[in-house]
């Protein structure tokens, strides 16, 4: 009797999970360290951005002390006017402090800041006949022009703070705060006087500059009569523009 060995069945292996990534070539691969992106300190900032702010303005100014005092008196007057009620109820003391700061600002702007920052000055003079007239003083046109930072900051302070005082006047009227109206009115008078005076002084300085150019170089280049005629035309045209 013959004996037959039963056939053995071969079960299929479990399918291997697909390998994702790089194809292995048999050689050991080095472990790559994770790359962390960190922002650098110098992100392409312009040199002008580093000079911004109050410190940068004062460093670029030719007269930092005069510029600082100009804004100090003007900001202090508004700050004391707004915050005086938080520290004291004495109306007389608050009024005296604000008026003193306004007077100091008016004198400093007209006699110190305007002369040193933009080379302009003005005052009112009375002659022997009793007639008053304005006198405008400007820098010599042959000298170097004013520092651009000083000039820009001066004109900003000259025109911006009167607007702030007008806004405070409107707020006082809306709140029926009649007691502080004289202070605001005095501040507006002082600031508007400086605005008008320096605006006319600036116009007068530009006319003098044009007159010096027309009377100097053009006279030498075009002759006496031709230079006088052309200088007169230029002076009349500039006076119409700045009138």
Reading the chain (243 residues) residue by residue, the pLDDT tens digits are 555 555 555 555 555 555 554 445 555 555 665 544 444 444 444 555 445 577 788 888 888 999 999 999 999 999 999 998 788 888 899 899 999 999 999 999 999 999 999 888 888 888 888 888 888 888 776 677 778 899 999 999 999 999 999 999 999 999 888 888 999 999 999 999 999 999 988 887 777 655 555 555 444 444 444 445 444 544 454 444 444
For tokens 């008008």, the residue is: 196
Q: How far is CA 51 from CA 56, 59, 60, in A?
A: 4, 8, 8
pTM reported for the whole predicted model: 0.64
Rounded Cα–Cα distance for residues 192 and 110 (Å): 12
For tokens 């405070």, the residue is: 168
Rounded Cα–Cα distance for residues 156 and 136 (Å): 21
* Vertex 193: Cα angle to 172 and 116 (nearest 5): 120
pLDDT digits (tens, 9 = 90+) for 98-145: 999 999 999 999 999 999 998 888 888 888 888 888 888 887 766 777
For tokens 């080095």, the residue is: 30
């Amino acid at each position: 009797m013959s004996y037959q060995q039963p056939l053995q069945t071969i079960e299929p292996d479990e399918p291997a999970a697909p390998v994702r990534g790089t194809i292995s070539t048999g050689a050991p691969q080095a472990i790559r360290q994770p790359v962390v992106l960190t922002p650098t300190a110098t992100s392409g900032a312009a040199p002008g951005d580093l000079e911004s702010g109050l410190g940068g303005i004062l460093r670029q100014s030719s007269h930092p002390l005069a510029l600082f005092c100009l804004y100090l008196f003007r900001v202090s007057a508004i700050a004391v006017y707004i915050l005086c009620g938080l520290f004291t109820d004495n109306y007389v003391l608050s009024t005296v402090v604000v008026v003193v700061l306004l007077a100091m600002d008016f004198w400093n702007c007209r006699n110190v800041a305007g002369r040193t920052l933009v080379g302009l000055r003005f005052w009112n003079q009375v002659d022997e006949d009793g007639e008053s007239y304005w006198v405008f003083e400007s820098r010599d046109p042959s000298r170097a022009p004013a520092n651009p930072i000083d000039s820009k900051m001066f004109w900003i302070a000259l025109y911006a703070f009167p607007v702030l005082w007008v806004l405070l006047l409107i707020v006082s009227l809306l709140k029926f705060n009649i007691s502080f109206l004289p202070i605001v009115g005095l501040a507006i008078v002082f600031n508007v006087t400086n605005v008008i005076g320096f605006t006319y002084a600036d116009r007068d300085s530009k006319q003098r500059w044009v007159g010096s150019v027309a009377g100097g170089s053009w006279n030498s280049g075009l002759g006496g009569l031709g230079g006088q005629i052309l200088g007169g035309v230029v002076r009349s045209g500039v006076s119409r523009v700045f009138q």
